[in-house]
Amino acid sequence: MSATRFTLKKEKAEGEQAAGVAINGLTLTNEWLTVKMDEATGAIASIRQKDIPFDLVDATDSLGFNQYWYTGKDAANPRRSTKPFFKIKENGPLVASLLVESDAPGANLFSREIQLTTGSNRVDILNLVDKKRVYEDENLRFSFPFNVPDGELRIDLAWALMQPEKDQLKGANKNFFCAQHFVDISNRTDGVTWANLDAPIVETGEMLAQRWMSDLAAEPWLKTWTPSNRLFSWVMNNVWFVNYKGHQEGPVPFRYSVRPHKAFDSGDAKKFGIGLVQPLILAPVGEGQAGFGPLLQLAGDPAVIVTSLRPARDGNGYMLRLFNASEQAATASLQWGGRQPSGLFLSNVKEKLFEQMQPEMKFGAWEIRTLRVVFE
């Protein structure tokens, strides 16, 4: 809840400048990452991060990384995009991106923009599907075969993380999953977080979501989940026949972000996923408008995050929700930047005042705490 003022001027930059991002043929680089494209398919052939000893893309997987797959019912007759045409869209030094336009079954056009930004340790992907009107059974997916040796898969949920099989009840769905902000694949020292900003449904290993539609006499639902580093983002489907429109048509964007990292940190991953869907707000201001400091800050364990901050309904103070996005106990303290509150209380959705709290608080693993901040 703070603001910084920036001024854009047409002047020559002073001092030593960062190297920035660069494009060399079908390769993008910045301070952290090297991304190579596959000339034949338009998929991503390689993602290397300077601090990780292995390529994060499984080059042995024939399905391709960020490849378009169009199928009938139950993944029948899979077809990919073809005839990729590459062109430079942004050429640095702040942002560099390659645009890949392809023919694609079921679409008028399919484009992929792969982008790196100076100082950012992530690959941003924008897949744009200009969908044709089709009434026959169809499905659309993008494949993401990762390579993380001995990697464990974690799926982001609203107030937790879930590991398939380990954290599921008996009878739970293993054919596909719903990820709120990301899926992470990590071993003890290295990993990668894949953020799915627009498409929550994810399959692992194979295109198994509609297996039940092929032969109801056979086992329709998986009883056991098989670990895999290959993800499918399942983005379109007109096979389900209840309460769904008969076709999907027009341009539809699907955004993804891939961020390599060292040892997995659940709080860091949560903040990464939330930050992508709640970006900084840009607003024009006058010449005299200054920045202003934060309303409040959290000190202590970085796994404790603010998930909600809003005025109280009666106008006296704020409602504040804190979340320990970690499986470990944590401590955090509130530090107010300006006006100091007269009281801090445990509360609920009705904004009632319960136990009075101190600015420094202890949190259990995955604990959520709703607080009422009052000023009189």
Q: What is the CATH number of the domain that holds 301?
A: 2.60.40.2220
pLDDT higher than 80, residue 163: yes
What's 79's domain CATH number? 2.70.98.30
Is there a domain that residue 16 lies in? Answer: no
Q: 20-71: per-residue pLDDT in tens? A: 899 999 999 999 999 999 999 999 999 999 999 999 999 999 999 999 999 9
Radius of gyration (C-alpha) of the chain in whole angstroms: 23
Is there a domain that residue 92 lies in? Answer: yes
Structural domain of residue 342, as residue ranges? 296-374
Residues 157 and 222 grouped into a single domain: yes
pLDDT higher than 70, residue 15: no
What mean pLDDT is predicted for residues 92-105? 95
pLDDT for res 246: 81
The span from the CA of 46 to the CA of 245, in Å, is 38
Residues 48 and 143 grouped into a single domain: yes
Sheet with 318-324: list strands edge to edge. 304-311, 318-324, 368-374, 343-346
The span from the CA of 363 to the CA of 270, in Å, is 17
Residues 54 and 157 grouped into a single domain: yes
| C-beta of residue 123 within 8 angstroms of C-beta of residue 115 | yes
Instruction: Tell me if residue 267 falls in helix, strand or coil.
Output: helix
Q: Which of 249, 277, 305 is the last residue of a domain?
A: 277
Is there a domain that residue 12 lies in? Answer: no
Sequence letter at residue 227: P
Residues 187 and 319 grouped into a single domain: no
Residues 237 and 330 grouped into a single domain: no
Q: How many helices, marked H, and strands, marked E, lie in the chain?
A: 1, 26
Pairing verdict, β 318-324 and 95-103:
unpaired
Is there a domain that residue 3 lies in? Answer: no
pLDDT for res 59: 94
pLDDT higher than 90, residue 149: yes
Residues 186 and 322 grouped into a single domain: no
Q: Which of 245, 277, 309 is the last residue of a domain?
A: 277
Residues 133 and 267 grouped into a single domain: yes
Q: Which two tokens stand for residue 3?
A: 């603001």
Residues 313 and 241 grouped into a single domain: no
pLDDT for res 16: 58
Residues 304 and 230 grouped into a single domain: no
Enter the pTM of the model: 0.93
Is there a domain that residue 15 lies in? Answer: no
pLDDT for res 264: 96
The span from the CA of 120 to the CA of 244, in Å, is 39
Count of domains in the chain?
2
pLDDT higher than 70, residue 174: yes
Residues 229 and 121 grouped into a single domain: yes
Is there a domain that residue 355 lies in? Answer: yes
The span from the CA of 114 to the CA of 257, in Å, is 10
Q: Which of 244, 277, 310 is the last residue of a domain?
A: 277
Quote the mean pLDDT of the chain. 93
Is there a domain that residue 10 lies in? Answer: no
φ/ψ region of 42 (left if φ > 0, alpha if ψ in -120 to 50, else beta) reads: left
Residues 190 and 264 grouped into a single domain: yes
pLDDT for res 235: 96
Residues 270 and 300 grouped into a single domain: no
- For the chain, first and last CA: distance in Å? 22
